[in-house]
Amino acid sequence: MLIRELDLFFDQLVFHGFWVYPASIIALITVIYASQEREQTLSALAEFMKNNYFPILCLGLGITLVYSRLFGMGSMWHQVLGHDYHRIVKNIAEESSELLGYVLMFYASINYVYSYFKHQTSNN
């Protein structure tokens, strides 16, 4: 997601649409690694999903990947605002909902790390 968010940087540095290549390479490497360590991957995923902050992480992902994209559809804003359509209004609404999703994911991630370290110190 970070690579996709940096698409403007890649567009200016290399060429338009370049972000697809590094994102694809990372996704491919991740899938290959996960498939080679299938047992460990599945047990780690199960443990990850048991955490209390997993639903918050999923909510953040849903808001960022689905809601903000749907909410940012230009055609919807044209229908709602008609002749008063200004792209800046759509951008503010879309980017703020996306930011909300990222904040929720960050909050869940920080709490994941905190609960991991808390668990590690209680085991020692």
- Whole-angstrom distance, CA of residue 81 vs CA of residue 75: 10
Q: Mean pLDDT for the chain?
A: 89
Q: Note whether 83 and 112 are within 8 A (CB).
A: no
Q: Count of CB atoms within 10 A of residue 94's CB? A: 19
Tell me the per-residue pLDDT of 49-89, one tens digit each, with 9 for 90 and over. Answer: 999 999 999 999 999 888 888 877 888 888 888 888 888 88
Backbone angles phi, psi at 74, to 5 degrees: -60, -35
Q: Give the residue carrying structure tokens 């290959």.
A: 32
pLDDT reported for residue 100:
94
CA distances (Å), 20 to each of 4, 32, 42, 79, 121, in order?
Answer: 8, 18, 27, 32, 40
**Is residue 21 scored above 70 in pLDDT?**
yes
- Residue 99 · residue 40 · CB < 8 Å: no
pLDDT, tens digit, 9 for 90 and up, residues 38-60 = 999 999 999 899 999 999 999 99
pLDDT of residue 66: 87
Sign of torsion over alpha carbons 39, 43, 49, 53: negative
Owner of token pair 């890649």? 10
Angle between helices 54-62 and 38-50 (to 10 degrees): 90
pTM value?
0.77
Residue 4 CB-density burial (10 A; 0-12 exposed, 13-18 middle, 19+ buried): exposed
